[in-house]
Amino acid sequence: MFEFGGLTIVLLVVGLLAASLRILREYERGVVFQLGRFWKVKGPGLVIIIPGIQQMVRVDLRTVVFDVPSQDVISRDNVSVKVNAVVYFRVIDPAKSILQVEDYLNATSQLAQTTLRAVLGKHELDDMLAERERLNQDIQQLLDAQTDAWGIKVSNVEIKHVDIDETMVRAIAKQAEAERERRAKVIHAEGELQASEKLLAAAEILAGKPQAMQLRYLQTLANIAGDRTNTIIFPLPGDLMNLMTRSAKSGE
Judge if 159 and 175 occupy the same domain. Answer: no
Mean pLDDT of the chain: 82
* Residue-level pLDDT at 246: 60
Q: Is 101 helix (H, G, I), strand (E, B) or coil?
A: coil
Residue 112 has pLDDT above 80, yes or no: yes
Q: Give the β-pairing of 152-164 and 45-48.
A: unpaired
Examine residue 131 and state whether it is found in any structural domain, yes or no.
yes
Judge if 78 and 158 occupy the same domain. Answer: yes
Examine residue 123 and state whether it is found in any structural domain, yes or no.
yes
Q: DSSP state, 149?
A: G
- What residues does 34 pair with on adjacent strands? 37, 54
Judge if 77 and 128 occupy the same domain. Answer: yes
Handedness of CA 218, 221, 225, 231 (dihedral sign): negative
For 168-199, the DSSP string reads HHHHHHHHHHHHHHHHHHHHHHHHHHHHHHHH
Q: 6 to each of 15, 18, 29, 51, 210, how far by Cα in Å?
A: 14, 18, 37, 22, 132
Range of the domain at 37: 17-60
Examine residue 37 and state whether it is found in any structural domain, yes or no.
yes
* Residue-level pLDDT at 201: 76
Instruction: Give the chain's end-to-end CA distance (angstroms, integer).
Output: 165
- The tally of domains found in the chain comes to 3
Q: State pLDDT tens for residues 13-67.
A: 667 777 788 889 999 999 999 999 999 999 899 998 988 899 999 999 999 999 9
